[in-house]
Amino acid sequence: MSRIGRRDKDNKENCEHFAGIDETEVSPRTPECEECEKEGTDWVALRMCLLCGHVGCCDSSEGLHATRHFKQTGHPVMIALPNKSWKWCYVHRQYY
Ligand SMILES: [Zn+2]
Ligand SMILES: [Zn+2]
Ligand SMILES: [Zn+2]
């Protein structure tokens, strides 16, 4: 497949992984990164899983717990905490 949809970059519509998800109805399970809290590690920024409310740290953090959560559970979509200014799909590797 050589068709790379450059125009998709400007498409602000959510991918299918956000179907049926209402981000206003998902609440964080923990106030901070769940794993960092247990392990006592520091995090840089937080991400919340939009399927189960798991809170994990970003890829700039040591633990990479948000990404690890995706690898462990297959939950593909998350949102930035605390301002919820953007969402991310791990499958499409794209911001929304
Ligand atoms: Zn997606
Ligand atoms: Zn963490
Ligand atoms: Zn999850």
SS3 (DSSP) at 68? helix
Give the ligand at the shortest distance from the Cα of 64. Answer: 2
Alpha helix (H) residue ranges in the chain = 34-39, 65-73
Q: What is the pTM of this model?
A: 0.86
Question: Which protein residues have a CB closer than 5 Å to ligand 2 (ion)?
Answer: 33, 35-36, 43, 57, 63, 65
Q: How far is the CA of 19 from the centre of ligand 2 (A)?
A: 27
Average pLDDT over residues 11-31: 91
Taken in order of first residue, the domains within the chain and their CATH numbers are: 6-95 (3.30.40.10)
Asked if residue 86 lies in contact with residue 18, where contact means CB atoms within 8 angstroms, the answer is no
Instruction: For the beta carbon of residue 73, count every other beta carbon within 10 angstroms.
Output: 12
Average pLDDT over residues 6-34: 85
pLDDT at 2: 47
Q: Can you tell me the distance from the alpha carbon of 58 to that of 86, in angstroms, rounded to the nearest whole number? A: 13
Give the ligand at the shortest distance from the Cα of 52. Answer: 3
Percent of the chain with pLDDT over 70: 88
Q: Can you tell me the distance from the alpha carbon of 68 to that of 55, in angstroms, rounded to the nearest whole number? A: 11
